[in-house]
Structure 1
């Protein structure tokens, strides 16, 4: 299972949590590259690069419904989007690794969004 977790903290406590989980046979894990943020000064530019990339992707690809958030620190940018494929809605988390203003690597985790009646709480994937 491959998982991307997002936590929001307030006063040192976790107050919100989102995740996406997918079984992936491909062994292309993030472990093949250092996950240490080396250039925090690049955060804003990298986030803007992915905002433009996602905006252009949504315009060109009719499976994209909405981008819900983009989070970034240094070379790493996470895009959280909603897509529709074969009449099924999915949450798509795409983690980008940016080097010298170019997308060098992307990891994608796609999970089906359950019907609201099957949710365990009132929160959504976003």
Structure 2
């Protein structure tokens, strides 16, 4: 495990799960900490202030890092949070940026509710192996082109070029298969305003973007698994874009 992946993991498990804020500050974060999470103030002091209150409200915290990968200084973690014996449950998709020493200096996330009733596929769980490490850059390019051609330029006849008919779907609002994904996007007039960041490792690629879906602006983090040049599995988290007047930091991006 690299230093940045170890530090991101410890920030979650030792910090948010176990409440060891000083340990996080001293060992896992860099000198500064730029925050983009909704409602969390900037810098180390903001992190501490938010989570001290979070710990009081949520004394019982079960946190599972379901999967993670890294791409240069960036780390992605996909997390299930179960609070107060299931009183609240969340799926969190996080991107961390590290400094040259592997310490965490910036954080983005999109948090979505873990549903009470699960459809055919769980929104986060499922066996996924990290493969095709030699195809990382190629797979990132495929995802970028999917966003440009289909979700920005609305070339819907190109959809099948990028997405498998047998797509495994984890979004609880969408049926299985590529055609159902396409239908959902069309019916909700979905489009990508801009793609902020694409990171990946091997067959797993994450795209963090601002999208227009069903007459609403969202920050959306989507995880794709690729195989033989096509998207074969899809997870996503989305949050309504907060108003500027409500921001406690630099915003989602």
Match of 1:124 in 2: 251
Which segments of 5 or more consecutive residues in structure 1 lack a partner in the other structure? none
Structure having the higher helix fraction is 2
- Structure scoring higher RCO (CA < 8 A, sep ≥ 6) equals 1
- Deviation string 1:26-74 (CA, Å, 9 cap, x unpaired) is 452443122x422211101100110111111211166321111111110
CA RMSD of aligned residues (A): 1.8
Structure having the higher strand fraction is 1
1:22 aligns with 2:112: yes
CA deviation after TM superposition for structure 1 residue 17, in Å: 0.2
Select between 43-52 and 83-92 the one with higher mean Cα deviation: 83-92
Q: Which has the larger radius of gyration?
A: 2
- The separation in 2 between residues aligned to 1:86 and 1:78, in whole angstroms, is 22
The two structures have a TM-score, normalised by structure 1, of 0.88
Which segments of 5 or more consecutive residues in structure 2 lack a partner in the other structure? 1-89, 155-188
User: What is the aligned residue count?
Assistant: 124
- The separation in 2 between residues aligned to 1:30 and 1:101, in whole angstroms, is 23
The two structures have a TM-score, normalised by structure 2, of 0.46
Map 1:1-126 → 2, pairs under 5 A: 1-10=90-99, 11-25=101-115, 26=118, 28-34=122-128, 36-56=129-149, 57-60=151-154, 63-85=191-213, 87-121=215-249, 123-126=250-253
